[in-house]
Amino acid sequence: MMILRPIQKSDYPALLNIAQESGHGFTSLPLNEELLQNKIDRSMTSFSKETDVPFDEGYLFVLEDSETGEVVGTSAIEAAVGLDDAFYHYHLSKVIHSSRTLNVYKAVDILTLCNDYTGATELCTLFLKDKYRKGLNGKLLSKSRFMFINQHKSRFAETVIAEMRGVSDENGSSPFWKWLEEHFFSMDFPTADYLTGIGQKVFIAELMPKYPIYVNLLSEEAQAVVGEVHDNTRPAIELLKGEGFTFNGYVDIFDAGPTVEAKVDNIRTIRATQFFKVCISKAGTEHTNGSPVLIANDKLAGYRATAVELEVPQSGDEITISAELANALQVTEGDTVSIATL
């Protein structure tokens, strides 16, 4: 059984391995041992913190194979971005160049540096090892965060965003950054991405062009990747679109990957979630004619979620689960669980 839970100190070797495997462009997991340790410490502090206002909390989850104990993926939630460190995007919009005298009318795309998502909740650090990219694992890793947000809404903002990894090759070369590097910077994409990942963002304010960039002045290769996602990221963005997330013209300042957004109460999983009291089956087996669902307990530091086939009652406020599932979710008779159909 695959179990999603908060990260622990003992998960450090697994997190380091994931940071190595994730490669270039995965800004939220820089290959830096001290910073990875700090991420674990910060997450554990966030889960234990009492608060009803989103601020600098970061919640990092891992997906564990309960049969082997192997950590096979990660996902995370940043409660509110940009409150203690600037959070940059380019916003893609249009300007009109027109002249009645010359009978000219031209709409031109521009990219403007902004901090418009300051204070938003961010979904981030989603990574699943190759051999586990099957079944319901990806949905569990991603969608269970919505159930966590739903159970602890006061800890999060009304707007939820997700930055999608943009186009780059196996060597970490980004066509968009290549153009920026040529005209404004003297560092390659992996270096700029790494510096951002470790929190050294001063160079952005110092070196980024302060005025809007006309998209038609970019190289053809750079123009082609604005708002496009990395091939490995396509399943993730399709999943988010299915949840109601939309692209409103905001792109990453390094690789021009799209950022998508949604209001918390409009997210499909949150709208579809039902709550039940636990009844533990004496037989110890699951119903065999059930449907695939996400099921999670209502705890904070003890949060657990998994994906199973389960028969969800059409009426009433109780659901029967096996002792094995109850143990995996760390719930007892009478506890509350949330369920969302898949």
Q: What is the CATH number of the domain that holds 32?
A: 3.40.630.30
What pLDDT sits at residue 9? 97
Choosing from 24, 89, 152, 230, the catalytic residue is 230
Amino acid identity, residue 198?
I
Domain count, the chain: 2
What pLDDT sits at residue 208? 79
45 and 193 both lie in a single domain: yes
Digit-coded pLDDT (tens) for 34-69: 889 999 999 999 999 999 999 999 999 999 999 999
Q: Is residue 166 part of a domain?
A: yes
Q: Which of 118, 110, 123, 87 is nearest to 261 (CA)?
A: 123
Query: Does residue 339 have a pLDDT over 70?
Result: yes
Q: What is the CATH number of the domain that holds 281?
A: 2.40.40.20
Query: Does residue 203 have a pLDDT over 70?
Result: no
Percent of the chain exceeding pLDDT 90 equals 72
Distances 102 to 94, 97, 98, 99, 182 between C-alpha atoms, Å: 21, 11, 8, 5, 35
Q: Is residue 308 part of a domain?
A: yes
Query: Does residue 272 have a pLDDT over 90?
Result: yes
Average pLDDT over residues 304-329: 93
Average pLDDT over residues 139-165: 96
Q: Is the pTM of this model over 0.85?
A: yes
CB 92 within 8 Å of CB 251:
yes
Q: Is residue 138 part of a domain?
A: yes
- Domain, as residue range, for 15: 2-90+114-269
Residue finishing a domain among 251, 269, 287: 269
What pLDDT sits at residue 205? 67
Identify the residue with better confidence: 87 or 250.
Answer: 250
Distances 113 to 83, 184, 200, 211, 249 between C-alpha atoms, Å: 17, 14, 18, 8, 12
Query: Does residue 275 have a pLDDT over 90?
Result: yes
264 and 336 both lie in a single domain: no
What pLDDT sits at residue 331? 97
- Which is it for strands 246-251 and 89-99: parallel, antiparallel or unpaired? antiparallel
284 and 177 both lie in a single domain: no
16 and 122 both lie in a single domain: yes
68 and 153 both lie in a single domain: yes
217 and 139 both lie in a single domain: yes
Q: Is residue 230 annotated as part of the catalytic site, yes or no?
A: yes
Q: Which of 196, 156, 152, 157 is nearest to 174 (CA)?
A: 196
Digit-coded pLDDT (tens) for 110-119: 999 999 999 9
